Structure 1
Amino acid sequence: MPNETMEKDTRTDYDVIIVGAGIAGINGAYRVQTQLPEGTSYAILESRDAIGGTWDLFKYPGIRSDSDLHTFGFPWRPWKEQRAIADGESIVKYIRESAAMYGIDQKIKFRHKLLAADWRSELQRWRLSVEHNGEKKTLTSRFLFMGTGYYDYQEPLEVTIPGLENFKGTIVHPQFWPEDLDYTGKKVVVIGSGATAITLLPSLADKASHVAMLQRSPSYLLSLPSASPVEKLISWILPAAIGTKLLRWRWLFIGWFFFNFCRAFPRAARAILRLRTQSMLPKNVPHDPHFVPPYNPWEQRMCVCPDADFFDALASGKTSIATGHIKTVTADGIQLTDPAAQKLNPRITSGVDIIVTATGLKILLAGGTRLSVDGTPIDAGSKFLWRGLMLQDVPNAAFVIGYTNASWTLGADATAQLFTRIVNHMAAEGIASCVPTLPPHDAASMEKRPTLNLNSTYVKKAMDALPMTGDRGPWVARSSYYRDFWNAKFGDFRDGLLFRRAASA
């Protein structure tokens, strides 16, 4: 690739600034401090006052992972418990202990919110505007690593529910669950069909008098054992150092095989999932229409319930499921557009005390940071994504975007591995910056494809805000951890990158 000499400037606060102290940020920090040259300085900016990101923020009952912890956990500190699906509190504990074990927690600047980031070409540095305890200050860094997750922490997804303003009871969004909310003996309706709704129904049923899940359209639901006999056997007969690695690779293969099977043979996958679901449903709950999604498996993210807790809750009689479109919300209930569906679900018509709007998350790139290059704002939605981690025309910045068909941490680590490899190459060659570059004629002929390959409502609503991927070269969307890991460690990363050398002193 061509190299251009730029003015050298040694003034900087940090070599790398990582944004976010969730699982992506902590993993990125580990890779920075173990894979970059000794003496590389870094800091983590965390807008809140705690480690854990999503898992510390969300407080709704029963919050848990919808990915197995053997692959969702850090590859450098394996998940050692037998249970593959874990609750939010255990995940937060795991992340915090991991950060403390390697001194990463000492690098975190809490209550530091990144407001804006401007790349200054004359300095070959990022100039960051940060808010700390109500005051603004400026930091500089050579590299920016955005481990901010993929959704808005401040606002949920805006969804129109007819007549919701009429409801006289309590309305709750899971993202902002009041820790003092008492739902004991209450009638609750959870609107939604995704992972959050699937989690809430059995969790709320412990105290509520009744919990109804109202869905516009169903999702595929797969029950997995918290710890299978195979996992128990591996953990029993093998040393932990070997057993945890074997379990990780086992889950990697299972996830990869199942996803590709569903995509290659959708009719067979539908039939298998139907038989499995029917075998777990109580006799009083029909399979149709509640478990017949209008799309093929893995066109939207699949929901998981551990040890069939969702189906057990349906069998208990304390929960129910309704499928239909909302006509209007009344003062104490919900009316559906289909009278037949309404007749089948009298529990949602009246006497409802709490409505939970589990309608999805609002996707937000880089935590809402205002990005610019030499003062010119960057519209991420008009840019292509280079190898799944760098924005076209934006120098020295990596954005963690995980997989939709596998654990988020796998994508986060593939990003961190390639990021540190590029930084090491630049240090060895005396390069000050690299920028993903796509010539105008190539951009014009590139077929535009979505970054997230799901047709979920929350993904569709965010299309204009997310960068695009292409149909060739390093602009193709990432889809396989195996391929991405190989490329990150051994592949040629120079295609599509323009390198600029630092000037001699």
Structure 2
Amino acid sequence: MEHFDVLIVGAGLSGIGAGYRLQTQSPDRSYAILEARDAIGGTWDLFRYPGIRSDSDMFTLGFPFHSWAGKAIADGTDIREYVNETASTYGIDKHIRFGQKVLRASWSSETAQWTVETNDSSYTCSFIYTCSGYYDYDQGYVVDFPGKESFGGTVIHPQHWPEDLDYAGKRVVIVGSGATAVTLVPAMAGTAEHVTMLQRTPSYIASRPAADAFADRLRGVLPEKLAHRVVRTKNIVTSTLTYNAFRKFPSHAAWLLNRMAAKQLPDSIPADPHFIPKYKPWDQRLCLVPDSDLFRALRNGTASVVTDEISRFTPTGLLLKSGEELEADIVVTATGLRMVALGKIELTVDGRPVPVSETFVYKGMMLSGVPNLAWCVGYTNNSWTLRSDLSSQFVARLLNHLRATGTDICLPEIEPAEYDAPRRPVVDLSSGYIQRAAAILPRQGPNGPWRLRQNYPRDLFTFRFGSIEDGVLKFTRREQAAAGRRTAHSGG
């Protein structure tokens, strides 16, 4: 059974970033990355539907240590190549074990180690860092609409897009109004005979240029790394201020977003009800469309939008609750993703199963009552990588602190008063995919290190410079933990 100081789960953006931080900031620790699939890239390798792209600017979604040289809003293929290039440049790819889906992890206080079981191997390690995100890679969320078996066309989910799907000249209905749907519509429009976005309720949609003119100018006069750092800082400040303003003045933000959408719509498509959401901006993640491509498809007539609910499938399409029938050759169910906690890994601590949904998240990354384990979770109001990189730097600091203090175990412990406080899901948005998973995800507490804040400047200070010894994270030596466990078992 192979042993590593650290096992990283997942070789996507987060996992590759974690490998870099470990080998540069905690270089004396051995590590391996266990990847369930046979390729690097995570989400950006899994999703292959037409038009897939970033919904955050790549200067902040990309790594701070490896400059991004392309457009601000990038295609999925370019992002996948960038992640692979980063892994190869820094030798991180040599640490990856492919085809290793982690099934179970068992902690022993006697040895201060985890035993990690995959689909075909076993490992031991001193620390686990799960960087597999919180999406279920096996399947997306599928609504079981009545009558689907009677439909004579093709029904597909974007998460499992067929490579040989030919939609040229076909009538396509895309069910959904989130980021996936607003990406698919303009990507398929023009090739398909017609594309209809069928939504139950609208989402807030904002347009922005795919290219960053400021970045392009700056890269012409400054060295690449310096230009990248300046643009990244500018984008962080801009996105943080915008988010805070939208949350503080939601009615003004809603008016602005609705007005911007209305100005880009053709006369045949009224903003209400198709582009006037009922929730506040950033109660759900904002949908981004580069260069107004969605609105352009609506204006030129290659795409349309219908706001209604599905009654059932018919042999030739979809019957709506209003009585209207949409004819279709292909129905794309962009109905959302399924969320999971820690990649569905079964955890046990000293023989006791860990009900993950009953744990609280310390600093948005460690679980109460679970030693030597971190879970990488990014921002919902900003680029994922901004927070995932801070988490990886904190893990490196934590490992260095363990070695410097001669301790083996770090364990976040929550006070009973905080445990009894009203619980909130770790991801605090009203989006359907998050609400469906609320019962299985870890919780966040009301305040302090148990609250996951959407605040990069504050997290930057806390994760990089804040004290490791905060009174909440407990540090012990293996011998102490083992003796304490034996005493507890003997009833002493």
Change (3 A) 1:160 1:425: same
Q: Does the Cα contact within 8 Å between 2:100 and 2:121 map onto a contact in 1?
A: no
Q: 1:439 to 1:229 in 2, by over 3 A?
A: closer
How far off is 1:283 after superposition? Answer: 2.2
Counterpart amino acid of residue 18 in structure 2: G
Matched, 1:488 2:473: no
Cα distance between partner residues in 2 of 1:386 and 1:42 = 23
| 1:58 counterpart (27, 47, 51) | 47
- Cα deviation, residue 12, structure 1: 6.6
User: Where does residue 158 of structure 2 map in the other structure?
Assistant: 174
CA change 1:228–1:473 in 2 (3 A) is: closer
Paired letter, 1:326: I
Question: Aligned partner of 1:462: which letter?
Answer: A
Count of residues paired in the alignment: 479
Residue in structure 1 matched with residue 170 of structure 2 by the alignment: 186
Post-superposition Cα deviations, 1:417-441, rounded to whole Å, max 9, x if no partner, equal 1111111101100110111111334
Matched residue SS, 1:493: coil
TM-score for both structures, normalised by structure 1: 0.92
Normalising by structure 2, we get a TM-score of 0.95
Question: What do you get for the CA RMSD once the two structures are aligned?
Answer: 1.4
**Residue 47 (structure 1) aligned with residue 47 (structure 2):** no
TM-superposed deviation, 1:158:
3.7
Matched, 1:33 2:23: yes
Matched-pair contact (CA < 8 Å) for 1:12–1:142: no
Asked if the contact 1:146–1:400 (Cα under 8 Å) also holds between the matched residues in 2, the reply is yes
- Which residue number corresponds to residue 23 of structure 1? 13
Asked whether the equivalents of residues 190 and 211 of structure 1 are also in contact (C-alpha less than 8 Å), the reply is: yes
Contact 1:116-1:370 within 8 A present in 2 as well? yes
Residue type at the aligned position of 1:474? P
Pairwise mapping of residues 99-118 of structure 1 onto structure 2 (< 5 A)?
Answer: 99-118=87-106
1:400-419 equivalence runs, <5 A: 400-419=376-395
SS of 1:431's equivalent in the other structure is coil
Q: Which amino acid aligns with 2:387?
A: G
Give per-residue Cα distances to partners, 1:278-331, cap 9 Å, x unaligned: 221122221111101110111100000111111111112111100011122211
Match of 1:431 in 2: 407
In structure 2, the partner of 1:3 is none
Q: Which amino acid letter does the alignment assign opposite residue 225 of structure 1?
A: P
Establish whether residue 93 from structure 1 lines up as the match of residue 70 from structure 2. no
TM superposition shift of 1:503: 4.3
Tell me if structure 2 keeps the 8 A contact 1:414–1:481: no
Provide the residue aligned with 2:427 in structure 1: 452
Query: Is contact 1:157–1:359 with CA below 8 Å preserved after alignment?
Result: yes
Greater Cα offset, 322-331 or 381-390: 322-331
Question: Gaps spanning 5+ residues in structure 1: where?
Answer: 1-10, 343-347
Distance 1:141 1:317, change over 3 A: same
Task: State whether structure 2 residue 396 is matched by structure 1 residue 396.
Answer: no
CA contact (8 A) 1:218 1:323 kept: yes
- Equivalent residue for 1:128, pick from 93, 112, 116: 116
Residue 183 of structure 2 is matched in structure 1 by 199
For residue 229 of structure 2, what is the aligned residue in structure 1? Answer: 245
Distance 1:61 1:372 in 2: 41
Amino acid corresponding to residue 58 of structure 2 in structure 1: L
User: Is 2:371 aligned against 1:387?
Assistant: no
Structure 2 Cα separation of the partners of residues 18 and 429 of structure 1:
23
Q: Partner of 1:305: helix, strand, or coil?
A: strand
Instruction: Determine if contact 2:7/2:128 at 8 Å carries over to the other structure.
Output: yes
1:77 aligned residue = 66
Using the TM superposition, give the Cα deviation of residue 257 of structure 1 relative to its aligned residue in structure 2, in angstroms: 1.1
Match in the other structure for 1:258: 242
Amino acid at match of 2:311: K
Unaligned regions of 5+ residues in structure 2, if any? 481-492
Which residue of structure 2 lines up, in the alignment, with residue 6 of structure 1?
A: none
| TM-aligned CA deviation for residue 349 of structure 1 | 2.3
Task: Tell me how far apart the structure 2 counterparts of residues 29 and 20 of structure 1 sit (CA, whole Å).
Answer: 10
